[in-house]
Amino acid sequence: MPRKQLNGRAIEVTDEGFLVNPSEWSEDLAPLLAKEIGIDNLTDAHWKVIRFMRSDFEAKGQIPSIRRMKNEGGIPTKELYELFPEGPAKKAAYVSGLGKPQGCV
């Protein structure tokens, strides 16, 4: 598997750049990952999504769907698309240090 340097650490990633091991993620990596996909500034609303995804993943063992983020996380779908345009589940998972969600191309 490929590796990339983030904050001076070599981190194992997939061919698409998703972290292989979510436990290697830390909050200081999120802004770097976000910049890679065109999000220059993480707002409190972004962090709400990121933190929900991380905690839900830890509790359930799978990456939450958009529906779950809306219903369980209280994050409106429209807002998800505004925060993470052109693929909110995939982009939010990327910034959150999780794998690629099932069903994403």
Cα 38 from Cα 29, distance rounded (Å): 15
The predicted pLDDT at position 105 comes to 47
Whether 73 sits among the annotated catalytic residues: the reply is: no
Of the chain, the percentage scoring pLDDT greater than 70 comes to 97
pTM exceeding the 0.85 threshold for the entire prediction: yes
pLDDT digits (tens, 9 = 90+) for 5-53: 888 889 999 999 999 999 999 999 999 999 999 999 999 999 999 999 9
CB 46 within 8 A of CB 95: yes
Rounded to 5 degrees, what are φ and ψ at 13? Answer: -135, 165
Average confidence score pLDDT of the chain: 93
The predicted pLDDT at position 103 comes to 62
The dihedral sign for the CA sequence 83, 84, 89, 93:
negative
The dihedral sign for the CA sequence 28, 77, 18, 56:
positive
Select from 27, 39, 32, 31 the least CA-distant residue to 6: 32
- Residue of 11, 37, 66, 104 marked active site: 104
